[in-house]
Chains A and B, each alone.
Chain A
Amino acid sequence: AQTVTQSQPEMSVQEAETVTLSCTYDTSESNYYLFWYKQPPSRQMILVIRQEAYKQQNATENRFSVNFQKAAKSFSLKISDSQLGDTAMYFCAFMINQGGKLIFGQGTELSVKP
């Protein structure tokens, strides 16, 4: 069975600093996708970044980047120049090809402090 683990229930960071959120997963599949979603207090789930397992290059989206270590089954999210609007719950998620099923971690609650 596939599982996703986020070991940091809560984190905080000062505005403009950098923070890294950890995620590990377990699967025997070789083709899959990994995602980070954020859920602010509005509860709207917003895609942050996505990574295909067959791509060795780490995905980046503006201030957000990932460190994808396939052999270690690790998928961490780095947020640079943190902003107050980054305050949210962050979920790491995993999907195998054409499954339509995301498996989520328990989430990391990130607080960005002024």
Chain B
Amino acid sequence: KAGVTQTPRYLIKTRGQQVTLSCSPISGHRSVSWYQQTPGQGLQFLFEYFSETQRNKGNFPGRFSGRQFSNSRSEMNVSTLELGDSALYLCASSPGLATQETQYFGPGTRLLVL
């Protein structure tokens, strides 16, 4: 089975721009979670989608949004980029069912905001 894929792998943007990141889960997985990783804050949960519905949300401003499509692929959008949004963005997929919660991670998208 192919693993979780994320595109693009690297991205450079300037302050005020917006960005969209994409995540394709493992085949058959219906849950996609997004995380932000920075040296200062570590790994922080952004949100989780299951069957096209946001099931859980972290403590991030409304500039961070996401969605999930019927094929379970997910996108994450960040509007009005700030310097502090520079980070590694990881997505993870899982079956999303009770007792099948183990998350498998993609390689990440490294975002640099200038």
A102 to B105, CA, bound (A): 12
Closest-by-CB residue of A relative to B32 is A100
Contact with A along B96-109 (1 / 0, CB 8 A): 11110111110110
With known contacts A43-B88, A45-B90, A104-B42, A99–B56 Cβ distance under 8 A = yes
B108 pairs with A43, CB closer than 8 A: yes
B103 pairs with A102, CB closer than 8 A: yes
Minimum distance in angstroms from B32 CB to a CB of chain A = 8
Name the interface residues of A91-114: CB closer than 8 Å to any CB of B. 91, 95, 97-107
Residues of A within 8 Å of B, CB-based: how many? 24
Q: Is B48 in contact with chain A by the CB < 8 A criterion?
A: yes
A42 to B110, CA, bound (A): 12
A-B pairs with CB below 8 Å: how many? Answer: 61
A100 to B88, CA, bound (A): 19
Q: Is A64 in contact with chain B by the CB < 8 A criterion?
A: no
With known contacts A43-B88, A91-B43, A107-B42, A100–B94 Cβ distance under 8 A = yes
Q: Is B55 in contact with chain A by the CB < 8 A criterion?
A: yes
Contacts of A46 on B, CB cut-off 8 Å?
A: 105
Q: Is B64 in contact with chain A by the CB < 8 A criterion?
A: no
Contacts of B99 on A, CB cut-off 8 Å?
A: 52
Minimum distance in angstroms from B108 CB to a CB of chain A = 6
B45 pairs with A97, CB closer than 8 A: no
With known contacts A91-B43, A106-B42, A101–B107 Cβ distance under 8 A = no
A44 pairs with B35, CB closer than 8 A: no
Closest-by-CB residue of A relative to B45 is A101
Minimum distance in angstroms from A101 CB to a CB of chain B = 5
A106 to B40, CA, bound (A): 10
A52 to B110, CA, bound (A): 32
Q: Is A35 in contact with chain B by the CB < 8 A criterion?
A: yes
A102 pairs with B35, CB closer than 8 A: yes
5 shortest interchain CB distances as A-B pairs: A100-B48, A45-B105, A104-B43, A101-B45, A100-B56
Q: In the complex, given contacts A45-B90, A52-B99, A104-B43, what are 7 additional A-B residue pairs having Cβ atoms less than 8 angstroms apart? A: A45-B92, A91-B43, A98-B98, A100-B50, A100-B94, A103-B45, A104-B42
